[in-house]
Copies of this chain bind each other. A is one copy, B any other.
Amino acid sequence: MRRSERIALISKTLSENPNKIISLNYFGQWLGAAKSSISEDLDIIKNAYKNSGQGELTTIPGAAGGVRYRTKRSADQIKAFLEGLSNALQDQKRIIPGGYLYMTDVVFAPEYSSKIGEIFAQLFIDKDPTHVLTVETKGIPIAFMTAKALNVPMVVARRDSRVTEGPSVGISYVSGSGQKIHNMSLAKRALPENSRVLIVDDFMKGGGTAQGMRELVAEFKAQVVGTAMVVTTAVPEKKLVEDFTTLLILEGIDTNKGEIKISINNKLIG
């Protein structure tokens, strides 16, 4: 096999397996090449990715070592993506009677949710999360793509416990906006003790749901290492959770003028 063919296959494999360490022996045996040749192939791929902002290859030495691919967007790339996302969400057809913002199609669209998941992974990878947690339903694709980019499992809290998932731990929580009481539960076997949990959701207003997830994590004797939202409302300014990261801020919806105002969280991109 020629070098260019090997590179096509190695590049595909790495980009399909983010944050996974793959040994050079694996590639060598699969592609019938010496380790030194694979090593040269990887240098070429590494440079090509780096020079075009397509992510980062890292060589991990040692017996359990190999090569690892991670997406790594520059501040400019993230900003450009968030501007596109913000524009898509500011379409006035998205105003739902009652002053809500329809964003289901966007968070369910592979083109957006893949990139959102990659950005969340990039922002929190140094916290070494072992699990990504969301609560059903709308946040699932984004939580899933974040888990995929981090190469960790996703767990999903249910609104009510399911007989098909066995014993579960449930909590009640008060929504941040209203005064309604909600329930949330998670199968006991879904989350081991001492897990490092990244909480992901599509939308936050008062923060009640996010706070509920924090309490649920505590019930599992696990630890929250971050809370990541796609859109957070500007009002109320004070949320039930203090420490969170949001990509976009929903400044307001003017149902009379038919205007949605969304800004990019500039703190995010420095």
Which residues of A pack against B, CB within 8 Å?
A: 1-12, 14-16, 30, 41, 44-45, 47-49, 51-52, 54, 96-98, 100-102, 104-105, 108-110, 113-114, 136-137, 140-141, 144, 147-148, 151, 153-156, 158, 163-166, 187, 189-190
Measured between alpha carbons, how far is A102 from B188 in the docked complex, in Å?
Answer: 12
Looking at the complex, which one of B2, B110, B114, B137 makes contact with A158 (CB distance below 8 Å)?
B137
Q: How far is the CB of A58 from chain B (nearest CB, A)?
A: 16
Measured between alpha carbons, how far is A166 from B104 in the docked complex, in Å?
Answer: 11
CB closest residue in chain B, given A142: B144
CB closest residue in chain B, given A135: B137
Q: How far is the CB of A220 from chain B (nearest CB, A)?
A: 15
CB–CB B105/A54 < 8 A: no
CB closest residue in chain B, given A103: B164
Number of this chain's copies in the complex: 2
Sorted nearest first, the 7 A-B pairs with minimum C-beta distance are: A5-B48, A110-B148, A11-B11, A8-B48, A96-B166, A100-B164, A8-B11
Looking at the complex, which one of B15, B104, B144, B164 makes contact with A102 (CB distance below 8 Å)?
B164
Measured between alpha carbons, how far is A14 from B8 in the docked complex, in Å?
Answer: 10
**Also in contact, A108 and B8, with CB within 8 A (given A96-B165, A141-B140, A165-B96):** no
CB–CB A189/B153 < 8 A: no
CB–CB B9/A8 < 8 A: no
Measured between alpha carbons, how far is A2 from B3 in the docked complex, in Å?
Answer: 12
Which residues of chain B have C-beta atoms less than 8 A from A45's C-beta? Answer: 8
CB–CB B4/A114 < 8 A: no
CB–CB A164/B96 < 8 A: yes
Looking at the complex, which one of B100, B105, B114, B147 makes contact with A148 (CB distance below 8 Å)?
B114
Q: A12-B14, A16-B114, A110-B144 are known contacts; what are 19 more A-B pairs with Cβ within 8 Å?
A: A4-B4, A4-B7, A4-B48, A8-B11, A9-B54, A11-B11, A12-B49, A96-B166, A100-B163, A102-B164, A102-B166, A102-B187, A102-B189, A108-B155, A110-B147, A110-B148, A137-B158, A140-B144, A141-B154
